[in-house]
């Protein structure tokens, strides 16, 4: 919480990062954070409604929305539960990830196994 009594805006990017980590482990069973890596080329957040201390059941939705040859885009939505259990939208965002070779520190193509696992997990992709 910041001096205004709500979650500070920089924390939303941390929430995106946490969601992205869980997502990659769920969507790709082959993914290994010690072998495969990407860098963030771009990240954005649109703040819609502040998150205060009394927010109920906050959570983040994550999905891959686009895949290129060397990069992919993730979309995020931070929501909570309001009166009568309706969802309250707090923020939406996107990030662009670029695959890299950890040893060479150069961009690489998305591995075919990753593309297959993601499209299996995200059938509308």
Per-residue confidence (pLDDT) for residue 98, from 0 to 100: 98
Residue 38 lies in a domain: yes
Residue 4 lies in a domain: no
Per-residue pLDDT tens digits for 37-95: 999 999 999 999 999 888 899 999 999 999 999 999 999 999 999 888 899 999 999 99
Q: Which two tokens stand for residue 41?
A: 């080329």
Domain containing 32 equals 10-121
Per-residue confidence (pLDDT) for residue 20, from 0 to 100: 98
User: Average pLDDT, whole number, for the chain?
Assistant: 94
| One-letter-per-residue 3-state SS of 23-80 | HHHHHCCCCCCCCCEEEEEEEEEEECCCCECCCEEEEEEEEEEEECCCEEEEEEEEEE
Domain count, the chain: 1
- For the domain that residue 101 is a member of, what is the CATH number? 3.10.129.10
97-104 mean pLDDT: 94
Per-residue confidence (pLDDT) for residue 1, from 0 to 100: 67
Work out the angle between the directed axes of helices 10-27 and 112-121 (0-180°, nearest 10): 100
């Amino acid at each position: 919480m910041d001096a205004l009594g709500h979650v500070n805006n920089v924390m939303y990017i941390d929430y995106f990062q946490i969601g992205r980590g869980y997502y990659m482990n769920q969507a790709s069973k082959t993914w290994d954070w010690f072998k495969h890596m990407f860098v963030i080329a771009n990240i954005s957040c649109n703040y819609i409604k502040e998150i205060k201390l009394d927010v109920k059941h906050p959570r983040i939705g994550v999905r891959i929305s686009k895949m290129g040859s060397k990069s992919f885009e993730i979309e995020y939505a931070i929501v909570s539960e309001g009166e009568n259990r309706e969802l309250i939208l707090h923020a939406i965002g996107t990030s662009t990830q670029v695959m890299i070779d950890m040893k060479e520190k150069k961009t690489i193509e998305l591995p075919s196994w990753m593309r297959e696992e993601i499209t299996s997990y995200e059938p509308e992709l």
